[in-house]
Amino acid sequence: SAAPAVNRPVRALLWRGPGAPLEIEPILLPALGPREVRVHVRAAGVCHSDLSMVNGTLAPPYPLVLGHEAAGVVTAAGPEATVAVGTHVVLNWAPPCRRCWFCGNGQPWLCETAGVPTAARGATADGEPLHVTLGLGALAEEVVVGDHAVIPVPAELPFETAALLGCAVLTGVGAVHRTAGVRPGESALVIGLGGVGLSTVMAARAAGADPLIAVDVTDAKRDLALSAGATHFLVSGDDLSSQVRALTERRGADHSFECVGRSATIRAAWRATRRGGQVTVVGMGAKDDMVSLAALDIFHSARTLRSSVYGNSDPDRDVPDLAHQVLAGDLDPAALITDRITLDESPEAFARMSRGEGARSVILL
Ligand code: APR
Ligand code: ZN
């Protein structure tokens, strides 16, 4: 009879709980199921949602493998998997079931089973069960995932760009085009200029937003904002609403995008939006961070407040479409990358992100 397959450990970025440092450790991936694939991760971004797992914003189980924004190559496929070995893929952190009410209603981003914050999968080198971020745990040399959690993309697409399509870019582009529906000449405000906010700026520019006002806490993001296509850059403060009104014929913005994930910035976006305008919440906040709005203002301002989950997108349809836009030269996500680093350097990328420095750090493997 055949010898049992040896499960060679792979290296991954692991969090062992509150107070513990982020460390690269060997982990054991689960055996490949019939509809699963093994992916050699070639590029993985560090997203604020990963930071939210470890900084107290969320309370995930641990030990936890971080990472959910990645691309790579399929190196093994179970007998019933629909994706072949050698295929270049983007990982999907919210693969829809295609069977629930929301999927049937044309809203796969709201799928009842997709987008779970963590899942049990694999083990530490000494056999302790592991959890993985958003079903992926993509800050690792390799992952084992269901075939519905990978999206084939053209092999010409650079891995670092492909990785960003899987979270920041799909989120930002979808928020602008699918959730808000920005039209040419409408004014737009984007608060928070990390990978998600800068993707939102790029998409709003492509949609013809004008003026396109980008906001962050310090001047450090000014150049990135202007090169992503913002017409104006503002440092956030108490007078944000009046500064935005000064640029929008005193009305306030037609569209505001909150790309931080905090009640204070949701309120700032709300106040800076015109009567009848739309506020789109893109950032993922904490469950106890309450947003308070005056009832009279909700009535009188006639604004719409909505959220955008994974860009209100169907990743299986929209990621390949974004890949073609990149290859056609119509979209340049590489402009979001401020740091290209190794897996060993990934803890420092979390530290930079918590200080609000840079935009995307991408780990190349
Ligand atoms: N006003 C304006 N900008 C702010 C504020 C504020 N009060 N507080 C923080 N920011 C800025 C930070 O300086 C940083 O530039 O928001 C940006 C956030 O960027 P990242 O930390 O890189 O986060 P990103 O990965 O872009 O994600 C943003 O979207 O998907 C969600 O969970 C994610 O909530 C997070 C959000
Ligand atoms: Zn993300």
pLDDT per position as a tens digit, 300-338: 999 999 999 999 999 999 999 999 999 999 999 999 999
Upstream peptide bond of 320 is cis (omega within 30 degrees of 0): no
Q: In what order do the strands lie in the sheet with 273-281?
A: 232-235, 212-216, 188-191, 253-258, 273-281, 304-307
Q: Which tokens hold the place of 76?
A: 């093994």
Q: Tell me, in angstroms, the distance from the centre of ligand 1 to residue 297's CA.
A: 26
Ligand 1 pocket residue status of 195, Cβ below 6 Å: yes
Query: Length of the chain, please?
Result: 365
Ligand 1 pocket residue status of 207, Cβ below 6 Å: no
In angstroms, how far is CA 247 from the centroid of its own chain? 29
Ligand 1 pocket residue status of 57, Cβ below 6 Å: no
Q: Are residues 137 and 175 in the same domain?
A: no
Asked if residue 164 is part of any domain, the answer here is no
Q: Is residue 2 over pLDDT 60?
A: no
Q: Are residues 248 and 337 in the same domain?
A: no
Q: Are residues 222 and 145 in the same domain?
A: no
User: Using CA atoms, how far apart are residues 60 and 50, in angstroms rounded to an integer?
Assistant: 11
Q: Tell me, in angstroms, the distance from the centre of ligand 1 to residue 261's CA.
A: 7
Q: Are residues 19 and 112 in the same domain?
A: yes
Ligand 1 pocket residue status of 192, Cβ below 6 Å: yes
Helix (H, G, I), strand (E, B), or coil: what is residue 260?
Answer: coil
ipTM of the shown complex: 0.98
Asked if residue 163 is part of any domain, the answer here is no
Asked if residue 25 is part of any domain, the answer here is yes
Alpha-carbon Rg of the chain, whole angstroms?
Answer: 20
The pLDDT of residue 3 is 42
Q: Are residues 82 and 195 in the same domain?
A: no
Give the model's confidence band at 6: pLDDT under 50 very low, under 70 low, under 90 confident, else very high. low
Asked if residue 327 is part of any domain, the answer here is no
Ligand 1 pocket residue status of 213, Cβ below 6 Å: no
Select from 54, 260, 280 the residue to mutate for testing ligand 1; criterion: most ligand atoms less than 8 Å from CB. Answer: 260
Q: Are residues 130 and 193 in the same domain?
A: no
Say what percent of the chain tops pLDDT 70.
Answer: 98
Q: Tell me, in angstroms, the distance from the centre of ligand 2 to residue 167's CA.
A: 5
Q: Are residues 219 and 299 in the same domain?
A: yes
The pLDDT of residue 362 is 98
Ligand 1 pocket residue status of 258, Cβ below 6 Å: no
- The whole domain housing 235 covers 170-309
Domains held by the chain: number? 2
CATH code where residue 221 lies: 3.40.50.720
* Residue 353 buriedness (CB in 10 A; 0-12 / 13-18 / 19+): buried
Ligand 1 pocket residue status of 52, Cβ below 6 Å: yes
Give the model's confidence band at 348: pLDDT under 50 very low, under 70 low, under 90 confident, else very high. very high
Q: By alpha-carbon position, which residue is closest to atom 34 of ligand 1?
A: 283
Q: Is residue 4 over pLDDT 80?
A: no
User: Using CA atoms, how far apart are residues 36 and 34, in angstroms rounded to an integer?
Assistant: 6
What pLDDT digit, counting tens, does each position of 55-104 carry?
Answer: 999 999 999 999 999 999 999 999 999 999 999 999 999 999 999 999 99
Q: Tell me, in angstroms, the distance from the centre of ligand 2 to residue 194's CA.
A: 11
- CA-to-CA separations, 8 to 41, 78, 145, 238, 285, in angstroms, rounded: 16, 18, 17, 54, 37
What pLDDT digit, counting tens, does each position of 121-171 carry?
Answer: 999 999 999 999 999 999 999 999 999 999 999 999 999 999 999 999 999
Q: Mean pLDDT across the chain, nearest whole number?
A: 96
The pLDDT of residue 207 is 98
User: Using CA atoms, how far apart are residues 28 and 30, in angstroms rounded to an integer?
Assistant: 7
- Ligand at minimal distance from the CA of 44 is 2
Helix (H) / strand (E) element for 54: namely helix 48-54
